[in-house]
Amino acid sequence: MDLLQRCKGRRVVLAPMAGITDGSFCGKYRDLFGIVTLGALNLDSATLSASKEIVKRGRREFLYSLNKFEYFVKREIVKARESNALVSVNIRFKDFHEGRRRIEFLGEHCDIIELNCHCRQEEIVNLGIGQELLKGENIETLKDFLKGIQELEIGKPILLKVRANVVPVDELIDNLNKVKRYFHGIHLDCFNPGKDYPDMEYLEKIRRCFRDKIVIGNNSINSLSDGERMLKYGDLISVARCLLKGNVKWIAQFNRKTSRELSCSPLENPR
Ligand SMILES: Cc1cc2nc3c(=O)[nH]c(=O)nc-3n(C[C@H](O)[C@H](O)[C@H](O)COP(=O)(O)O)c2cc1C
């Protein structure tokens, strides 16, 4: 069934926040989100070491023993399913071969895999991953990762979590066009350097150039009207920091409004 239909008419996604969006955090929002996202989870020793360094600087990350990955993930996914939403997992790795078994495991237990091309923490960027994967010089690495995941035939949609303005939008479009057969959707943080509002033009161009992909618009959505504005250019919208402020009420209103609109004009979507 189409991913959007499986969201049961709910158009809001809970975006990942490292060290915060675990199973309990996701699970406490029952019947609110179409998709909840766990992670970012590290799938290899290089990213786990990077996370440990990040924690030393006072930021939150998910730390666990890689030997106990399966146990940890299964437990968190069970809790996240209390949300009655699809469960996506935001993942990071440097060495695909080390992470491969864990991706297969995730494929058996979650609904969506989201490759993190977003993180800008120095320890992750120094590994040439996170937002570095969006740059032209790293596109072969991104391709190898995505091709490797596709060859696992896990049968789950692959999303890319992407930060806007790491590279200019036309450059990102060119880069993503080179790998477009390997992913199903783009989860775009419309990060707008030096501004406190999202870069909607960036999102609009991504939407226009990737009509056959799921597009999730994200950044600074705090109200029904923010959500409506973002939904003009996306199939779904996502939220992170507003939940930390307890700003949640508008999401139920948004669901009621958008599901009414959906039932008036049935979504015909091949995805
Ligand atoms: C504390 C924190 C941790 C985050 N961790 C991740 C992460 O692990 N992976 C990721 O793709 N995005 C991460 N993000 C980015 C969010 O998913 C989102 O793109 C960003 O916060 C903008 O959305 P917002 O304005 O609704 O917060 C994080 C954001 C915050 C605030």
Q: Please, how many CA atoms are within 13 Å of residue 6, restricted to the half-sphere of its CB?
A: 15
Residue spans of the domains in the chain: they are 3-264
DSSP readout, 130-186?
GGGGGSGGGHHHHHHHHHHHHHTT--S-EEEEEETTSS-HHHHHHHHHTTGGG-SEE
Dist. CA 14 → ligand 1 center (Å): 10
pLDDT exceeds 80 at position 69: yes
Give the mean model confidence (pLDDT) for residues 195-216: 97
Q: Please, how many CA atoms are within 13 Å of residue 156, restricted to the half-sphere of its CB?
A: 21
CB of 42 shorter than 6 A to ligand 1? no
As a whole number of angstroms, the distance between CA 228 and CA 31 comes to 20
Give whole-number Cα distances, 243 to 30, 116, 264, in Å. 14, 21, 30
- CA angle 72-153-214, nearest 5°? 85
Average pLDDT, the chain: 96
pLDDT digits (tens, 9 = 90+) for 78-134: 999 999 999 999 999 999 999 999 999 999 999 999 999 999 999 999 999 999 999
Using the atom order of ligand 1, give the atom closest to the CA of residue 241.
27
As a whole number of angstroms, the distance between CA 243 and CA 212 comes to 30
The contacts of residue 249 (CB under 8 Å, 6+ apart) are: none
Q: How many CB atoms lie within 10 A of CB 123?
A: 21
Q: Whose CA is nearest to atom 14 of ligand 1?
A: 17
Dist. CA 39 → ligand 1 center (Å): 10
pLDDT exceeds 60 at position 237: yes
Using the atom order of ligand 1, give the atom closest to the CA of residue 238.
26
Q: Supply the pLDDT for residue 264.
A: 64
11-20, 31-40, 96-105, 261-270: which has the minimum mean pLDDT? 261-270
CB of 90 shorter than 6 A to ligand 1? yes
As a whole number of angstroms, the distance between CA 159 and CA 142 comes to 13
31-35, 94-98, 171-175, 258-262: which has the minimum mean pLDDT? 258-262
pLDDT digits (tens, 9 = 90+) for 168-194: 999 999 999 999 999 999 999 999 999
Q: Supply the pLDDT for residue 259.
A: 84
pLDDT exceeds 60 at position 270: no
Residue 261 confidence class, pLDDT cut points 50, 70, 90: confident
Which pTM was predicted? 0.96
- CA angle 134-140-142, nearest 5°? 50
Closest CA to 131 of 114, 117, 141: 117
CB of 243 shorter than 6 A to ligand 1? no
Residue from 12, 13, 14, 17 to probe ligand 1 pocket by mutation (most atoms less than 8 Å from CB): 17
Q: Supply the pLDDT for residue 1.
A: 56
pLDDT digits (tens, 9 = 90+) for 143-152: 999 999 999 9
Q: Please, how many CA atoms are within 13 Å of residue 137, restricted to the half-sphere of its CB?
A: 4
User: How many residues are recorded in the chain?
Assistant: 271
Structural class in CATH, domain 3-264: alpha beta
